[in-house]
Amino acid sequence: MTRPAIAIHGGAGVMRKITRSKEGAYLAGLTRALEAGYRVLEKGGASLDAVTAAVVALEDDPLFNAGRGAVYSSAGTHELDASIMDGKTLRAGAVAAVSRIKNPVLAARAVMEKSPNVLLAGRAAEQFAKRNGLALVRPAYFHTAERLADLRKGRKSCHGTVGAVALDRRGNLAAATSTGGYTGKAPGRIGDSPIIGAGTYADNASCAVSGTGWGEAFIRLAIAHEVCARMRYRGDSLARAAAFALARLKRLGGDGGLVAVDRRGTIAMPFNSRGMLRACVGSDGGRVVRIC
């Protein structure tokens, strides 16, 4: 039996926004999501269920830019993206530019498990989610006064993606990512979060990765797949592969970070932004919950 491990993130480069009074709330939110995922693994559950549980917890927490706490587009709307991938079978699912799905990661999982497709966008994705019994909500569900103030004041957005990666007792890897994009993004803009290979990738042959940061650069570098490919084809350790991917990101002028776990339970949580909300339980059971 493999010892399970999990790592999650709640966005990179968000430090300016987190006043000391709110630090505790963020750490608590991260811890809740981490434990929601780890409980699944401890009971012998699948990594796919663990990353789903962790990301749902982050989506339901208005502090994080995904699900409930999604930021506003330039049109004053919310457009959410999410994806999930199973490292054992390389099955994957994703939704993009959805405005009415309470938990986009659950819709991504339904696309993976109940459709012949990998990526569904917009209204069609919402109809698919509804047909599969997922909760739809009114736009008001995503309203948060602080996010609206961000838009109105033209505050530069944090890269507030959330995500999780996990290794279960059977040795299977999984990854999931969910986001509201960035404040003031163009409607119809799709970032890296729903793109398999960019924001999310999992392959039992190497590792599972979830990214957060300047989405356009993550897409151009196919960052999540890049980390896996360097491990697989170059023989890099996870830490080295992840560091190299971030170095390439920096050369493109991009910032952000990622969480990753390999098939031995090694965890990496590198970032080149001012900070990254992150937490993990390693294969030794040790917890880390950090902001800077």
Which residues are at the interface with a copy of itself (CB under 8 A)? 85, 90-92, 96-97, 115-125, 128, 185-191, 195-198, 201, 215-216, 219-222, 225-226, 229-230, 233-234, 252
Q: Which is nearer to a copy of itself, 23 or 117 (CB)?
A: 117
Distance CA(105)–CA(51), nearest Å, equals 9
Closer CB to a copy of itself, residue 78 or residue 278?
A: 78
Rounded Cα–Cα distance for residues 201 and 237 (Å) = 17
Q: How far apart are CA 292 and CA 285, in angstroms?
A: 22
Nearer to a copy of itself, 59 or 81 (CB): 81
Cβ proximity of 194 and 224 under 8 Å: no
Residue 109: CB atoms within 10 Å:
29
Q: One of 144, 161, 183, 200 is an active-site residue; which one?
A: 161
Are 13 and 213 spatial neighbours (Cβ–Cβ below 8 Å)?
yes
CB of 125 to a copy of itself, least distance (A): 6
Measured from the CB atom, the residue of 222 and 267 that comes closer to a copy of itself is: 222
Contact criterion met (CB below 8 Å) for 111 and 128: yes
- Gap between the Cα atoms of 177 and 236, Å rounded: 24
Considering the complex, what minimum distance in angstroms separates the CB of residue 219 from a copy of itself? 5
Q: Which is nearer to a copy of itself, 85 or 279 (CB)?
A: 85
CB neighbours of 231 closer than 8 A, spacing ≥ 6?
206, 207, 237, 238, 241, 262
**Stretch (H or E) spanning 52:** helix 47-60
Active-site residue, 161 included: yes
Shortest Cβ 109–a copy of itself spacing (Å):
15
* Residues 62, 119: Cα–Cα separation, whole Å: 25
Structure tokens at 35: 């434990």
Enter the tokens of residue 101. 């799905």
Query: Residue 6 forms beta bridges with which residues?
Result: 166, 281
Shortest Cβ 113–a copy of itself spacing (Å): 13
Nearer to a copy of itself, 160 or 191 (CB): 191
> Least Å distance between CB 128 and a copy of itself?
8
Q: Compute φ and ψ for 195, nearest 5 degrees.
A: -100, 110
CB of 147 to a copy of itself, least distance (A): 20
113 forms beta bridges with none
Active site residues: 161
